């Protein structure tokens, strides 16, 4: 339902029920527009349109040329949802996304600029195509006060991803449990030590930590973690349903 709400334009009411006047149907469609700036900006404008339509119908007059929301108050300052002036950057971002969606694999796209220039707003434009492709979008942020924690932003993104998955149906969760155990087996514990949220996903199926894992040195454990992390990510980003991870870097003042 949420997927359709975000991506699918509903059928106009007059096409479902011919007895509904097309003008009234157009008003309903305007109220349901995806972008906030395309909807009515005031109740007064909506009321004015409905009164105008009613009066025209009662008099048997044509509504040709009628413009929805023509009395709307456009003097208020409204921030549009559409992003302007970033067509070239969006084209590169969407191109990388479409390539990964069609061919599989992975891609790294970096977005740089001074603080406040709109980097996050730009990247979040990819969310709708991700949802349309039934993919997943998760984000994490580097913290200047936690620079001593390896993979901190990536861990945050994975925690976000797991929380999203946990909200899905039990059948979906069971599918992921099986895939995780098939791909990682008892080595899942290497990830559990860093991302304990995985235990919530696995439930009672959390495997016991093997002695060989406990005996690993720091360097060996880190290398094993990287290998298992890639396997884990592949589970949630199969070909055709890409996984987008947005990792935000907030530089220190002296950087």
Task: For 79-95, write each residue's pLDDT tens digit.
Answer: 555 666 678 888 888 88
Please enumerate, as own/partner, the contacts of 185-192 that have beta carbons within 8 Å and a separation of 24 or more: 186/210, 186/213, 187/213, 187/224, 187/228, 188/228, 189/213, 190/221, 190/224, 190/225, 190/228, 191/225, 191/228, 191/229, 191/232
- Indicate the SS3 state at residue 122: helix
pTM for the model? 0.58
Mean pLDDT of the chain: 78
Q: What is the pLDDT of residue 146?
A: 62
Q: How far apart are CA 205 and CA 198, in angstroms?
A: 11
Residue 9 DSSP class: P
Q: pLDDT per residue over 177-227, tens digit each?
A: 889 888 888 788 778 878 888 888 888 767 666 666 556 667 777 788 888
Q: What is the pLDDT of residue 254?
A: 42
């Amino acid at each position: 339902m949420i997927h359709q709400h975000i991506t699918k334009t509903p059928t106009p009411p007059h096409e479902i029920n011919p007895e509904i006047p097309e003008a009234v149907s157009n008003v309903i469609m305007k109220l349901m527009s995806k972008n906030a700036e395309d909807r009515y900006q005031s109740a007064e404008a909506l009321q004015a349109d409905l009164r105008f339509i009613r009066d025209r119908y009662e008099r048997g007059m044509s509504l040709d040329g009628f413009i929805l929301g023509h009395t709307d108050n456009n003097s208020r300052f409204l921030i549009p949802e559409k992003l302007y002036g970033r067509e070239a950057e969006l084209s590169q971002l969407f191109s990388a996304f479409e390539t990964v969606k069609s061919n599989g694999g992975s891609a790294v796209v970096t977005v740089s600029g001074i603080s406040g220039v709109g980097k996050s707003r730009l990247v979040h434009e990819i969310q709708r195509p991700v949802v349309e492709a039934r993919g997943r979008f998760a984000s994490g942020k580097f913290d200047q006060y936690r620079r001593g924690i390896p993979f901190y932003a990536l861990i945050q993104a994975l925690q976000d991803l797991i929380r999203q998955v946990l909200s899905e149906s039990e059948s979906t969760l069971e599918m992921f449990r099986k895939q995780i155990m098939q791909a990682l087996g008892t080595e899942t514990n290497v990830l559990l030590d860093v991302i304990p949220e995985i235990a919530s996903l696995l439930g009672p199926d959390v495997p016991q930590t093997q002695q060989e894992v406990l005996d690993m040195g720091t360097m060996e454990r880190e290398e094993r973690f990287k290998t298992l992390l890639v396997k884990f990510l592949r589970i949630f980003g199969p070909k055709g349903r890409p996984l987008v991870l947005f990792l935000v870097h907030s530089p220190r003042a002296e950087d």
